[in-house]
Amino acid sequence: MSRTEAGSPHDPRGQERFLEERATYTVKGAGAQPDIEAGVAAIRETVRTLKPLPGVYRMLDARGDVLYVGKARSLKARVANYTQVKALSNRLKRMVSQTRGMEIVVTNSEAEALLLEAQLIKRFRPPYNVLLRDDKSFPFILLRGEHAFPRISKHRGARRAKGNYYGPFASAGAVNVTINALQKLFLLRSCTDSFFARRDRPCLLYQIKRCSAPCVGRIDEAGYAELVAETKEFLSGKSGAVQKKIEVQMAQAAEALDFERAAMLRDRLRAATAIQGSQAINAQGVGDADVFALAEKGGQMGVQAFFIRGGQNWGHRTFYPSHTAEIDPDQVLADVLLQFYEEVPPPRTILVDRTLPEQELIAEALCEKAGHGVDISIPQRGLRRKLMSQAQRNAVEALERRLAESGTKARLLRELAEFLELDAPPRRIEVYDNSHIQGDKALGAMVVAGPEGFVKGQYRKFNIKTAQTNDDFAMMREVMTRRFARALEQDPDREQGGENGVWPDLVLIDGGKGQMSSVKDALEELGIEDVPLIAIAKGPHHGREGREVFHFPDGREKTLPTNSPLLFYLQTLRDEVHRFAIGAHRAKRSRAITASPLDEIPGIGPGRKRALLLAFGTASKVRAASLDDLKRTPGISAGVAQMIWDFYHPGE
């Protein structure tokens, strides 16, 4: 085992390289029967090769799936603890009994190991780690910097574009509201660069006083730059200075009898006041800070987060971490913080409602990731203490609402099991539908629901490959064959059930007797006869009166009262798969509309396609071009030109 200095888990450019270049090895134990002796034997075999160095370890089961990711100051001492079975909790005993191998990654420091641990947990989502259950990235406001007239826009994902990022915001809605207010306040453009370049007259946003129309010269570059500077000041916490400046300008315009400009400045001032007044939480004077408070009740935990930037409240969100049984709440909050800041840049101040395990180490790791100082503290007095009290109260109320909703959902699932004659309430419900227009661009769709609601990370689309695309029954048969053939391949023993497993407890089909017959035949051909199937068909009035008919595999039919909460729930499931299928179908049609014959050439991406079209005009002219003409095309190398020529002239 050797150490390497290449890469770093907190360097975005080197994260993947870090994982590949670190010294990694796997030790496999014999046998696949989940008994604790075999697990301890596999761990002891690993311990013999370890040294007292910092790093990260992964517990693997017999299939090689990750059970747990942990970090250690001394790998040898930490991993050896798992061989002391009597000192382990029941949860850890279960984990050890399933362990058949381990993977070890050595790091340069414990802080580096802490960052890598959070990264690997986010990637593998092991069943024995606390998981931050949030599949959506946080939105930011982006003020682009590579254009003479910068654009303001909402941004998600990797922050690769040049410019200033402000966030995170708690939701897309919070970003949209803020951007709308900022447009009224600073009149910045929100259009794309291509739209901006081809304008010859102002658009509607100029007419409704939400843009200064730099595209047609209604404001010069210097004037627009001043608006951009004011925007940056406002978003950086200097909102008071900006408002005072606008007030002075408005008074000066009024004195000069320039009432039109005075009215415009008055509207901008009202927009600034609206932004301040819309913030239910007063955070003036706090600067940049995130506030976290944890509530625990009924075996569940909720973490409330407030996002404060520049003394402005940018929203709040509640997280409900999973796999928290038998884990101390302090440790749960620490794990939530590390996973949260895996995607979001840490602010200089993080306020928490309890002392975290290894709090100084967490602060050191986040400081290393952010490139600036990070302070984690428990507020004791003043405005920060008041903010924490609000966060704690919100955490308790949000968790109570969730528990109440869970109770309602649990009751619905019990009623569903009774109505559909299931052995137990389903934990994983899969709902299927097809979408096409006269057979064109046909696809199937699957959505997944469980006790916590829809599991959007497990939605799937199926491009129809073999079935006649105007035959709904054949399309449904193909979708089910592909879905369950893969399930048999991944988990033939059907061990991975439940909400996040491979096998469903109930399959709900949008359709009638024909769809039910197709699905039933497809599963029987695979030797699957014990997966509960139900088809939901609209009634004689197309569902307008809630007259849905439920078709059973044996030919029976059932209905529910029109005011039944269970009927509403099943309609919600059906409507969600319908929405997902239609959205996927529209996206597929849109891609087809913008597709080019050049897309079929291997190795031709957007950049080379653009270069070819700029040089030749159309794809047909590219096809007719000589090899010498292709080689002379800017942006196309001789090798690529030869590849294009060979594609269109095979065998020549």
Task: Give the model's confidence band at 54: pLDDT under 50 very low, under 70 low, under 90 confident, else very high.
Answer: very high
**Average pLDDT in the chain:** 82
Tokens 């009149």 locate to 187
* pLDDT given for residue 283 in this prediction: 60
Structural contact between residues 473 and 514, judged by C-beta atoms closer than 8 angstroms: yes
Query: Angle at Cα 145 formed by Cα 312 and Cα 341, nearest 5°?
Result: 50
Kindly tell me if the per-residue pLDDT of 27 is higher than 90: no
Alpha helix (H) residue ranges in 420-545: 472-490, 513-525
Report all structural domains of the chain as residue ranges with CATH numbers, in order of start.
12-124 (3.40.1440.10), 140-277 (no CATH), 289-400 (3.30.420.340), 429-591 (3.30.420.340), 597-648 (1.10.150.20)
List the helix and strand counts (H, then E) for the chain. Answer: 21, 20
**Amino acid type, 255:** E
Which tens digit of pLDDT belongs to each residue from 266-278?
776 666 665 554 4
pTM, 2 dp: 0.66
Lowest mean pLDDT among 197-201, 305-309, 417-421, 616-620: 616-620
Lowest mean pLDDT among 323-337, 474-488, 611-625: 611-625
Which tens digit of pLDDT belongs to each residue from 139-171?
888 988 888 899 998 888 777 888 888 878 877
Number of Cβ within 10 Å of residue 517's Cβ equals 18
Which tens digit of pLDDT belongs to each residue from 527-540?
888 889 999 988 66
Q: Residues 182-197: what's their mean pLDDT?
A: 85
Q: In terms of Cα–Cα distance, which of 383, 401, 393 is closest to 293? A: 393
Question: For the sheet containing 289-297, what is the strand order?
Answer: 312-319, 300-309, 289-297, 349-352, 375-377
Q: Residues 377-406: what's their mean pLDDT?
A: 88
Q: In terms of Cα–Cα distance, which of 177, 166, 144, 140 is closest to 155? A: 140
Number of Cβ within 10 Å of residue 92's Cβ equals 17
